[in-house]
Amino acid sequence: MRQAVSMVARLGFRLQALPSVLGRQLSCTQDVLCRTPLYDFHLAHSGKMVEFAGWSLPVQYQDSHIDSHLHTRQHCSLFDVSHMLQTKILGSDRVKLMESIVVGDIAELKPNQGTLSLFTNEAGGILDDLIVTNTSEGYLYVVSNAGCWDKDLALMQNKVKELQNRGSDVGLEVVDNALLALQGPTAAQVLQAGVADDLRKLPFMTSAVMEVFGVSGCRVTRCGYTGEDGVEISVPAAGAVHLATALLENPEVKLAGLAARDSLRLEAGLCLYGKDIDEHTTPVEGSLSWTLGKRRRAAMDFPGAKVIVPQLKGKVQQKRVGLMCEGAPMRAHSPILSMEGTVIGTVTSGCPSPCLKKNVAMGYVPYEYSRPGTLLLIETSGPHF
């Protein structure tokens, strides 16, 4: 069956979060899934555990996926994202190191300001997306995806060794913290009850270390992966259960799992690495040109710049777009067709939108079909992969 779909105007992209090598080594082996510090907490709260990127994580709790999704939009939800990789880049040459492997302007970041950036290769492909924060404590705090843990860590460690061999002052530490995401319109109100800092002075993509509900040494970052206001809290592993329990005492807060996290990010037009962007897509093709720092574009001094920068001025072969339709939902790998019936692209992610009451998706189409409002067809019958 073929269904008509319409291109939506804009694709968003806010962030993703992470944990640590020591914790990873202690909590899993080759034969056992990794467990976050909240594993037993999830089981005690009826979490349905599934495998994700080598970790055992809750896909949902007693509430349905749809109920969790809507609760996040209307109130706030608590997500365990401790599977993410958290690292510190240290030393006086830390910015030099980071700018040698990402596309963003890290030098321009103010104290405690962060940005979404991308690791790229020399062919212009995206190796991963990550958040880099210039902390006032004298290091860069980096959060990247669990699915890219090994290659991200190897990339950073190898670059550290390379620069150290050249006499640079730089180092790397993996942060052995849990990571909790409190997301939704009432998240700041809920968190404010447990911190002395005025959260009104913590705008989007800024970060601060503070005590949270009695747990000291927490890094609170105003960011999220749901399209809602919220924070991600890097908390010492020993205090993770205490913090999660304290947050749940507020009736505004409910636990949410991977299923709601995926539909929330899709509804907001946010990428998932490995599905919507990968080593075979460039930032321009992935509609992520805004991550390229202006100074970096001019200097053309990031990996893949010779491929990526010219794409900013010309037409790329393919472009990531948002799609919307009614009827049967669009799923990953579904063919995208022109109105004449010619296959022109592929859906990378899709699901029914609980809020819009329509189906949303994203995928890649040739540049000439990427204008918002363009009508296309989606093949929604036949085998799914």
| Binding region for substrate | 232
Rounded CA-CA distance 117/343 in Å is: 32
Tokens of 347: 């859906």
Provide the phi-psi class of 201: left if phi over 0, else alpha when psi is between -120 and 50, else beta: alpha
Rg of the chain over CA atoms, in angstroms?
21
Tokens of 154: 């190897």
Give the burial class of 21: count Cβ atoms within 10 A of its Cβ; 0-12 exposed, 13-18 middle, 19 or more buried.
middle
Rounded CA-CA distance 304/308 in Å is: 6
The annotation places the binding site at 232
